[in-house]
Amino acid sequence: MPQINRRTLLIGSGGVATLIAAANGSGAVDEALRSGIARHKIPAVVGMVAGERKTLYEGAFGTRDSSGVPVRVDSIFAIASMTKAVTTVAALQLVEQGKLSLTEPVARHLPQLANLDVLDGFDQSGKPKLRPARIPVTLRHLLTHTSGFCYDTWDGDAFRYGSSNPANNGKPGPLMFEPGKRWQYGQGVDWAGRLVEAVSKLTLEEYFQQKICRPLGMEDTSFLVPASKFDRLVTRYHRDPAGGLQQDERKQPAPPAAFNGGGGLYSTAADYIRFMQMILNHGQGPGNARILQPKTIQSMMTNQIGPLTAGKMKSFAPTASLDVDIQPGHTEKWGLGFLINTTAYPGGRSAGSLAWAGLYNTYYWIDPKRRRCAVILMQYLPFVDKEAVALLNEFELAAYRSLPA
């Protein structure tokens, strides 16, 4: 039988991949995704699973947009906060070179982060009460979401403050708490990206391409989508008040005014798999490309927030995100760049696995114990929509049940 290149196979929502499934034993994963998008009414999905060196599964189902063009395994998605892990690697490269420290105040390189204020509640009239921060923000704070910089989508005080004080007179912050005192998802890695730019003297796009993407062969990962790749870009959707999904306008993304370390990358499943394989291989990329040292990778996999708990977020903007509880009933930690589950998922990833996600329902995990990683890409709001989470769970169960160890 002639060899089949799955990467070039186009699979629509009603497509059949029987021949390939029979060849590699991935039929159950195909079925989970194919039937899943029909059952959960999701426009498109691309899933991929890999070991340290090779791809174990790849599949694409659904359509790029309402035109009916099928998605492909090399379709391009906005991966939003999946950018954060890449920014974390960039910052840690500079730590390895002695150009940054995890423990020194970041104001040494970003003077605008000196003399920050902390929000200390609101008075009876609703006016915010600010006081000077006692603890300087460090790179460790930024990379672990313990800095006090919070997204107003998931922090009530930040939401209330931002509703009436959007400009803050041009000053960063205020912090929602003293650095190091709690975990709250926020703009810490956004600032870590600016720190990388300040120290490297490169834009984040230039740095990523030179130091991470090209060495790893991530040819489709960028803050920019050139016209030559626009046909591969998957269009976003959003859930309307009636519960249906409405397509956003399909147009060429404009170059951003600034490159944001907390979000903004476009990528493919295969590219992100290469990034995760580097983590599984202790910082080693293809062709002996050394991205990070093994001890740095180990620090990324190690709890960096002590007794604090990560991964629980109440939403104050339900059109953008529902409440987030990645593993209900269990405690999770945060390393450098990744959420760490302390309890195994029944039928799925091991305890100590690394994970995070992007706002448009893109998800990944890295399982160091079982030496595999996976990514599933959808493209709609709100984040952690119950249908997207259901498909993620079905994909994970099928991947562990059906694919070789």
Q: Provide the pLDDT for residue 318.
A: 96
**pLDDT of 13 above 50:** no
Mean pLDDT of 105-114: 97
Cis amide leading into 382 (omega within 30): yes
Residues 160 and 306 in one domain: no
Residues 192 and 231 in one domain: no
The active-site residue out of 13, 75, 84, 211 is 84
Q: Choose between 237 and 164: higher pLDDT.
A: 237
Of 182, 200, 218, which residue is a domain's last?
Answer: 200
Residues 123 and 105 in one domain: yes
Residues 239 and 107 in one domain: no
**pLDDT of 9 above 80:** no
Domain-embedded: residue 10 = no
The CATH number linked to 267 is 3.40.710.10
Residues 355 and 272 in one domain: yes
Tallying the residues shown for the chain, one arrives at 405
Q: Provide the pLDDT for residue 167.
A: 60
Domain-embedded: residue 17 = no
Domain-embedded: residue 144 = yes
Give the whole-number percent of the chain exceeding pLDDT 70: 93
Instruction: Write out the residue range of the structural domain in which residue 345 sits.
Output: 76-93+208-399
Active site residue 81: yes
The active-site residue out of 13, 26, 81, 267 is 81
Residues 277 and 367 in one domain: yes
Residues 352 and 221 in one domain: yes
Residues 291 and 375 in one domain: yes
Q: Provide the pLDDT for residue 244.
A: 93
Domain count, the chain: 2
Chain segment 343-387, per-residue pLDDT in tens: 999 999 999 999 999 999 999 999 999 999 999 999 999 999 999
Residues 250 and 293 in one domain: yes
Domain-embedded: residue 152 = yes
Active site residue 185: yes
Domain-embedded: residue 47 = no
Mean pLDDT of 182-189: 97
Q: How far apart are CA 381 and CA 119, in angstroms?
A: 30
Domain-embedded: residue 36 = no
Residues 85 and 111 in one domain: no
Mean pLDDT of 25-38: 92
Residues 125 and 233 in one domain: no
Chain segment 299-355, per-residue pLDDT in tens: 999 999 999 999 999 999 999 999 999 888 999 999 999 999 999 999 999 999 999
Active site residue 127: no
pLDDT grade, residue 166 (50/70/90)?
low
Q: Provide the pLDDT for residue 14.
A: 36
Q: Provide the pLDDT for residue 10.
A: 30
**pLDDT of 23 above 50:** no
Q: Provide the pLDDT for residue 173.
A: 80
Mean pLDDT of the chain: 92
Of 151, 168, 200, which residue is a domain's last?
Answer: 200
pLDDT grade, residue 287 (50/70/90)?
confident
Residues 87 and 126 in one domain: no
**pLDDT of 16 above 70:** no
The active-site residue out of 151, 185, 363, 364 is 185
Identity of residue 84? K
Q: How far apart are CA 70 and CA 179, in angstroms?
A: 47
Chain segment 133-159, per-residue pLDDT in tens: 999 999 999 999 999 999 999 999 999
pTM of the model: 0.92
Of 200, 232, 253, which residue is a domain's last?
Answer: 200
Specify the residue for token string 């009636």: 242
Mean pLDDT of 181-210: 98
